[in-house]
Amino acid sequence: MTSASLPRVSVVGLGKLGAPLAAVLASRGFTVIGLDVNKTFVDAMNAGKMPIVEPQLNELIAANKERLSATMDANEAVQKSDASFVIVPTPSDSTGFFSNRFVLQAMETLGKALRTKKGYHVVVITSTVMPGTTGTEIKAALEAASGRKVGPELGLCYNPEFIALGSVVRDMLYPDSILIGESDAKAGDMLQTIYLQMCEKKPPVQRMNFVNAELTKISVNTYVTTKISYANMLADLCDRLPGADVDVVTKALGADTRIGAKYLKGAMGYGGPCFPRDNVAFAALARKIGARADVAEATDRINNHQIERVSGLVAKFAKAGTRIALLGLSYKPQTPVVEESHSVKIAAKLADAGYIVTVHDPLAQDAALTVLGEKVVGASSLDSAVRDCDLLIVGTGWPEYKAIDPAWCKRNGQRLTILDLWRTLPADKFADVADVLYLGSGR
């Protein structure tokens, strides 16, 4: 397809996911206009560089500026597009459910703009929402604001992304599959056309009704977190069985096609803005409708236990007052995000227990210090953090930490203990100066 024949797209919400989606669409030939209430984001998009840390993002924006713009005017965004992707926050409430308040605000904004637009338009909900809400309150809000019924002149789809921070652009270009919950075939057809043009390869497209798509989204993350917690449960067992090695066990398990190797790594627990809350929401939904979600609840308990597990391990090697350096604060490498980060939680717990904690991260140090306050000290450099500690913890597997020099670990008259939670450092490289201990190794 030529650019002129492609549907024009607006992206509502230019945050960590919306900005990459706009950039990827523009890179694949679409004319894209972003819409946001944040003037800083709008101005940044128009200037060609977003204040968002995500690999490849700003390169794509700069390379495709002629097809990419942003505005704070909903009327402009709607008039200049045929489909609107809504990627706004859906924060968890006190019950564990996702709140649709920002989605509903977007429906009102888009709906009012649609009143003055002629012709067909598709509204795509990309934010993660609770099962049963797209076809009820979201649809009702859009219809009320637009004065149109979802049907021949107005399409509605639920289309969540399956991506991970730190690899958003790659995940959008090379998805395993595309999930579309559609109001009708016309809406689904337009969205499928967009994705088959946007993706580098032609992924399978799974089309269904709203509730099945909504349930699929949180089910995927709940299932993945179950695999993570299962591997961490195995690692806990292996810690206590002489000669056991969780890597050996999970490699053998993953070779079974009924199980698969992905996410089956005994290490630290999961964190971030999606996995923890999706698992909690799944269990909350089950309780509300009278179903059982014992597996999801157990997954969450095992994940939360990892903080106690690591702090208990530290107590075996060091007394309160010991100087500890904790390397890696983001919930995963290649992102500055510390939301639900186990490293941050461990740092806080150790500080509260009386340890002197210094922290380091290539991208997330400032964000973590904002959370931790004066409980810990931020390291001025990686080498100073390692040189000045009595016990070293590698909490996030940043590739930068593979460059740690064993000379930094030399201590007069004693060996340094290193707890490497993601098996980042090769133990033999440090054999002369330190004991590198891995989770899930019964040594």
The residues that are catalytic are 274
**Residue 102 burial (CB count, 10 A):** 17
Cα separation, 16 vs 308, whole angstroms: 31
Q: Exposed/middle/buried for 361, CB within 10 Å: 0-12, 13-18, 19+?
A: buried
Are 403 and 337 in contact by the 8 Å Cβ rule? The answer is no
Please give the sequence-ordered ranges of beta strands (E in DSSP) within 21-115, or none if there are none.
Answer: 32-35, 68-71, 83-86
Angstrom distances, CA of residue 388 to CA of 56, 324, 379, 382, 412: 35, 9, 10, 10, 12
Q: What type of residue is 171?
A: D
Report d(CA 74, CA 76) in Å as an integer: 5
128 alpha carbon, distance to own chain's centre: 12
Residue 217 labeled ligand binder = yes
Cα separation, 252 vs 48, in Å, equals: 47
- Compute the half-sphere exposure of residue 357: CA atoms within 13 Å on the CB side of its CA: 32
Tokens coding 327? 């390397």
- C-alpha–C-alpha distance, residues 42 and 34, integer Å: 7
Q: For residues 154 and 122, give the distance between their C-alpha atoms in angstroms, rounded to a whole number.
A: 6
Residue type, 24: V
| Spatial separation of the C-alpha atoms in residues 165 and 179, rounded to whole Å | 19
417 is in an annotated binding site: no
Contact 357, 376 (CB under 8 A): yes
Was 332 annotated as part of a binding site?
yes
**DSSP three-state, residue 393:** strand
Q: Which residues are annotated as a binding site?
A: 36, 90, 128, 217, 271, 332
Q: Which residues are annotated as a binding site for substrate?
A: 217, 271, 332
